[in-house]
Amino acid sequence: MESNYNEAKRYYEAQKRVVEIKKFYQHLTVYLLCNPIVIVVNLMTSPGYLWCIYSVVGWAIPIILHGMKAFGFSPIFNKDWEERKIQALLEKENPKQKWE
């Protein structure tokens, strides 16, 4: 019974991750389609001032963060950190029993 539960849980987690990766690729596609338009408009209207750089860089930051989340890259708050934090909180709430 627990085997089925673990299998279903693993499938659900994998499904969530695939959806997150798909959303990232959609976000990246919109970024890659819109920014060339913004650059062309900038160069046609005011070539002396490259204001499009704010759009390109400003939008690149969320794209990078979204990609890191979608592909599970988190140098600070990763699974090991989560597990350590959970264990610390459990130990704090339920101090170890002392043998008397």
Query: What would the pLDDT profile of 1-31 be if each residue is shown by its tens digit?
Result: 677 888 888 899 899 999 999 999 999 999 9
The predicted-structure confidence for 76-97, as pLDDT tens digits, reads as follows: 777 777 788 888 888 887 766 5
Q: What is residue 96's predicted lDDT score, i.e. its pLDDT?
A: 61
CA 71 to chain centre: 7
The structure tokens listed for 16 are: 């969530």
- DSSP secondary structure, the chain, as one string: -HHHHHHHHHHHHHHHHHHHHHHHHHHHHHHHHHHHHHHHHHHHH-TTS-THHHHHHHHHHHHHHHHHHHTT--SSS-HHHHHHHHHHHHHHHSPPPPP-
- With tokens 């990246």, the residue in question is 28
CB 55 within 8 A of CB 31: no
The structure tokens listed for 62 are: 């969320």
